[in-house]
Amino acid sequence: MGIFDFLSGEFIDVIHWVDDTRDTMVWRFQREGHEIKYGAKLTVREGQSAVFVHEGQLADVFTPGLYMLETNNMPIMTTLQHWDHGFKSPFKSEIYFVNTTRFNNLKWGTKNPIMLRDPEFGPTRIRAFGTYTVRVKDPAKFLIEIVGTDGEFTMDEISYQIRNIIVQEFSRVIAGSGIPVLDMAANTADLGKLIAAEVSPVLDSYGLEMPEFYIENISLPPAVEAALDKRTSMGLAGDLGKFTQYSAAEAMTAAATNPSGGGGMGAGLGMGMGMAMAQQMGNMAAGQPSGPWGAPAPAATQPAASVAPPPPPPVEHVWHIAVEGQTSGPFSKAKLGRMATAGEITRETYVWTAGQDGWKRAEDVQELAQLFTILPPPPPGI
């Protein structure tokens, strides 16, 4: 080292850091031989912190302001170096500037689909992506746990680890939330708060915090999205007959405007096919069979209306009667009615029919009891 270099190295240092990279989290002040003079000026700007490390030990953390590195404002260094006797020579130490501003618009996303059980679709897979913001909350802990002795630490060196933490907690929260996939878009704000709350304890152990977390999109696999689109289209179609007629008209228009279709011949053929398709689908919607090109099927080919045969007549009971130990019959109910009117049988007459359990009096049989409750009208002339 020349004499001029030695003398320039002995001047009072001015220690500061101006960052123009937008992605540097920690920068170490470069000094020849790591010699920092007693009484050097340390400038810490807003959005920065300075961590003083002496002989491998973290000595102090400086917040924004202007400092003179001497005994009266470095009590920890006084204990380490015993400067209470006015030791004035340079000392070998390191100063790490830590960027405490927010690092915005950082990306995260699921590398592989997440399996979950949806209440409507059953087992399915989803993907998601979004952005987040991170900042250094505890410079000393961040330096000890993450940076170490790295002279220039950038956001890219830790963003991959943070993305892994986010995806892990997102998978766990989304699978246990029970929110249907179709309703997740309406609940992204609440889901984001839940995931940020789960990620925060891990980041806190690194000396970091996550002020903002956003879920930009949650998507289904292409096959499920295609099935969902078809289901939505069917719901929008409404009346299938009208939708078919509209589709046929669209096909006819496309055929008429197709230059390779032979001009007027193609237009006429497309129009005829479109009208035939519309008529055929209209007949199907109305329940009428159709023949070729949508024409009604001939009468001979139309199925005849089937007429159901009448049900068989009910089986009428016939009865046997027992009078003075003698049985007679069988008699129909109408015949028994006339015999009751003539006084040939009474309520006490025993009757029997097939399926009946033994002989019973006529008044105990529900079907015959009504024969004795109808009284004839009074005779004329009274």
Length of the chain: 382
376 DSSP assignment: P
DSSP H stretches of helix in 218-307 = 222-237, 240-256, 264-286
The answer to the question of residue 380 being in a domain is no
In total, how many domains does the chain have? Answer: 4
Which of 50, 72, 99 represents a domain boundary (last residue)?
99
State which residues form the domain around 170: 103-221
pLDDT at 40: 82
Cα–Cα distances in Å, from 218 out to 68, 114, 129, 180? 53, 11, 7, 12
The answer to the question of residue 303 being in a domain is no
The answer to the question of residue 298 being in a domain is no
Instruction: Indicate if 174 and 83 belong to the same structural domain.
Output: no
Alpha carbon of residue 89 to chain centroid:
67
Instruction: Indicate if 47 and 89 belong to the same structural domain.
Output: yes
The answer to the question of residue 266 being in a domain is yes
Each residue's pLDDT expressed in tens, for the chain with a length of 382 residues: 444 444 444 455 788 999 888 899 999 987 766 677 777 889 999 999 999 888 778 888 999 999 887 755 554 454 445 444 344 445 667 899 999 999 999 999 998 888 888 887 788 889 999 999 999 999 999 999 999 888 899 999 999 999 999 999 999 988 888 888 888 888 888 889 999 999 999 999 999 999 999 999 988 878 778 877 777 776 665 556 666 776 777 777 777 676 555 545 454 545 555 555 556 555 555 555 555 444 555 555 555 556 677 776 666 778 788 887 778 878 887 887 788 877 788 888 888 887 777 888 888 877 777 777 765 555 666 5
Burial of 342 (0-12, 13-18, 19+ CB in 10 A): exposed
Q: Closest Cα partner for 294 from 272, 317, 270, 277?
A: 277
The answer to the question of residue 21 being in a domain is yes
The answer to the question of residue 337 being in a domain is yes
Q: What is the pTM of this model?
A: 0.55
Gap between the Cα atoms of 150 and 154, Å rounded: 10
Gap between the Cα atoms of 347 and 324, Å rounded: 14
Tokens of 340: 């009751």
Instruction: Indicate if 7 and 85 belong to the same structural domain.
Output: yes
Q: Please, which residues bridge with residue 185 across strands?
A: none
Gap between the Cα atoms of 71 and 27, Å rounded: 25
Instruction: Indicate if 76 and 123 belong to the same structural domain.
Output: no
- 103 phi, psi to nearest 5 deg: -100, 110
